[in-house]
Structure 1
Amino acid sequence: MNLLFDIGHPGQVHLLRNAISILKSRGHEVTVTVKEIPNAQKLLDAYGISWLPLGRKYDSLLLKGFSQARYNYRLWKIAQDRKIDIAVGSSITIAHASLFHRMKSILLDDDDAAAVRLFSLFAHPFADTVLSPSALAHQRKHRRDVVYAGTHELFYLHPSRFTPDPSVAEKAGIDLSKPYFIARFVSGKAYHDKGERWITLEQKLRFVRMLEHYGNVYITTERTIEPELEKWQLRIAPELIHHLLSFATMFVGDSQTMTSEAAILGTPALKCNSFAHKLSVPNMLEDKYDLCYAFQPEEFILMLKKAEELLGMADLKQRWIKKRERFLSDMIDPTAFLVSFIENYPSCGHNHHRKENLV
């Protein structure tokens, strides 16, 4: 088959890279498109994935609207030239382009509709299939919807896809025999982040200084870091951060994705932002599996106290490893599921729950 994967965010490189590799190895022709997002393009290069540009990505909601028509046309043209059969991604563009092309569109969406209203409104109705984690089954009721037992982070952090490498920490100058902490602070520039609240600089400093009583602190950020935090900044290739997360004593921050990544890797994770308690997949990780904890900005002191409570446990990591094992026993390898879903499309069927890996 002729397949196309569209990338709209660095995290989507991780989400799709294993499926891209497997499908290529099975003889499928795979095209990857990406907007002008330097971090995403660098990740694709780091994984040896060739790509075609779709154009500049804008932070302004107004400019996003104007540029979407250009993305649609460019992707449609690529689909025409390369005779694409199926397009895959967390992408409005593939849904729109498939309306004017014979290719089928498969969307991957792990967000609640209320959190990404525009995506739900302008992508879902035009897609042939929407794949979502089963934590969203209560919302995904249309015939186009398929839910599976997994999360987006498991596409690249399932044990079948990822093995932590201690040498990464050693090369970064981190002593694995001593406690250390990873912190992540986001830019908040995505359209669905508008009007949301994050950890303030004062709160970041307070948390980091508290953690320093227990071990070294390393901060990773997707933007220029505040001068006050530079002394803790971790400079490492983004494709290597998951190795450090796996061995860390704890993760703290305001990043949705990295909180889930740490939790799934068996590292206690605490986040503080105004999305706390509102999103189905993170709520599942917290409420059902007790792997992470979310706090509203006004609950920052509770977050601080929770971290201190956890750090008082002598067997903290061992407890989280057991919780992770329970979580994994309920989940599938979603990359294997996606590959089989694509190769057997459309006979996989719709409006049902997938627990099996299919391959």
Structure 2
Amino acid sequence: MRILIDIAHPGHVHLFKNLYFELKSIHKIWVTVKDIPIAIQLLKHYNIPYQKLGTKKDHILAKAYSQLHYNYLIYRLVRKNNIEIGIGSSLALAHVSAISSMNSIILDDDDDHVQPLFVKFGHPFADYLVSPASLIGNRKKKNTIFYNGFHELAYLLPNRFVPDVRVLKELNIDISEKFFVLRFNRFMAHHDIGHRGISLEQKLRIISLLKKYGRIFITSEGDLEPELMDYQLKINPEKIHSLLAFSQMFIGDSQTMTSEAAVLGVPSVKCNSFAGKLSVPNELEDTYGLCYAFQPGRFDEFLDKIKDLLELNGRNEEWKKRRLKMLKDKIDLSDFLIWMISNYPESVTSTSINTDLLAQFRLNETN
């Protein structure tokens, strides 16, 4: 089979890397990526060959123009190589599948109401959407395949990821030393229009609280403000999950890293205007108690929650128990995707949530 994997975000490298390595010896695979430095750095680290499409744009009109360019480049690649399946989370794959013989499988874990542009201009053209079961009732597209899991469980399950303790030595952190990871976003994606995260003044208040309890490391989507440079995290991007796993807590306004920390069993506290509006983080919070989310207008409550967690006895052991409960309910998403692609098109017509079919992708052991 001839397969295209399109990378539109650094997190997609992690999301699809196991799929790539499992299938590359059996099928012919192409990988495309926008000119996203961290995504390209990750692809190089994992020795995944790629073709670069072009630079991401911030302004909405520039995004629209760039989208046409991405579509053209992918269409040309698909036609030249007779690609049969495209998998990713991009508009380009959906659009090209509508005008070519390629079938598109789009992974989408956001609710319809928070991404109206993608729902309007992407969903109708996709052959299939693949979404967490959290979104049942919040996804309008009929041919959506629901699975019991999260994107982050494609790469952060215990059988797929073991934290590398060497990252602590690289940052001169003693194994018994307490530290915190913070992540701040720019909110420039199409689905971020009208949304906001944590202000500089609020960031400084977080630091003032945390520095009494341990070291602070900040990673940011854009350039850090001068006032925060002393805390800037300087490690290669493939090491961030190991650092997260050893941390006491994750704090920030990032959607992805909040969920990543949560599925690793690390207490996670998020403050942005998406809080309470997204089904996946709501499930991680309401069903499993692995993370907490607050609107920017509730920043004082956000700080109070951090204080409560800092003073909570037995916090680490409690979060291990909560994580184990979550893992027992979920599937290995990478295994599921590998099976889906390998058995396409029969797989997409026989899959639904709560079937014996999906049970085979549960972990046999969790720890």
**How does the TM-score come out when normalised to structure 1?**
0.97
Separation in 2, partners of 1:325, 1:206: 33
Separation in 1, partners of 2:329, 2:361: 15
Residue 353 of structure 2 corresponds to 353
Cα gap change, 1:353 to 1:306, in 2 (>3 Å): same
Separation in 1, partners of 2:156, 2:361: 18
Residue 280 of structure 1 corresponds to 279
Cα gap change, 1:237 to 1:45, in 2 (>3 Å): same
Tell me, what secondary structure is at the counterpart of 1:260?
Answer: helix
Match status 1:82 vs 2:81: yes
CA contact (8 A) 2:181 2:250 kept: yes
Residue 138 of structure 1 corresponds to 137
Q: 1:30-52 deviations in whole A, cap 9, x for unaligned?
A: 10011122221111111111111
Cα gap change, 1:352 to 1:142, in 2 (>3 Å): farther
Tell me, what secondary structure is at the counterpart of 2:348?
Answer: coil
**How does the TM-score come out when normalised to structure 2?**
0.95
CA contact (8 A) 1:155 1:333 kept: yes
Q: 1:113-163 deviations in whole A, cap 9, x for unaligned?
A: 111111111111111110000000112354421000111111111122111
Residue 309 of structure 1 corresponds to 308
Residue 153 of structure 1 corresponds to 152
Tell me, what secondary structure is at the counterpart of 2:269?
Answer: strand
Structure 1, gaps ≥5 residues long: none
The one-letter code matched in structure 2 to 1:76 is Y
Cα gap change, 1:183 to 1:269, in 2 (>3 Å): same
Separation in 2, partners of 1:317, 1:121: 43
Residue 68 of structure 1 corresponds to 67
Match status 1:23 vs 2:23: yes
Separation in 2, partners of 1:101, 1:69: 15
Q: 1:267-324 deviations in whole A, cap 9, x for unaligned?
A: 0000100100000000000000000000011111111111111111221111000000
The one-letter code matched in structure 2 to 1:182 is V
Q: 1:223-257 deviations in whole A, cap 9, x for unaligned?
A: 11111011111101111100010011111001111
Separation in 2, partners of 1:252, 1:56: 29
Note the aligned Cα RMSD (angstroms).
1.3
The one-letter code matched in structure 1 to 2:120 is L
Q: What is the aligned length?
A: 358
Match status 1:236 vs 2:239: no
Residue 187 of structure 1 corresponds to 186
CA contact (8 A) 2:2 2:82 kept: yes
Runs of 4+ in 1 over 6 A off after TM superposition: none
Tell me, what secondary structure is at the counterpart of 1:114?
Answer: helix
Match status 1:7 vs 2:10: no
Q: 1:60-114 deviations in whole A, cap 9, x for unaligned?
A: 1111112212211110110111111100000110111112211110000000111
Tell me, what secondary structure is at the counterpart of 2:14?
Answer: helix
CA contact (8 A) 1:334 1:357 kept: no
Separation in 2, partners of 1:223, 1:70: 25
Percent identity of paired positions between Structure 1 and Structure 2: 49
Separation in 2, partners of 1:139, 1:40: 29
Separation in 2, partners of 1:249, 1:90: 31
Separation in 1, partners of 2:64, 2:179: 43
Structure 2, gaps ≥5 residues long: 363-367
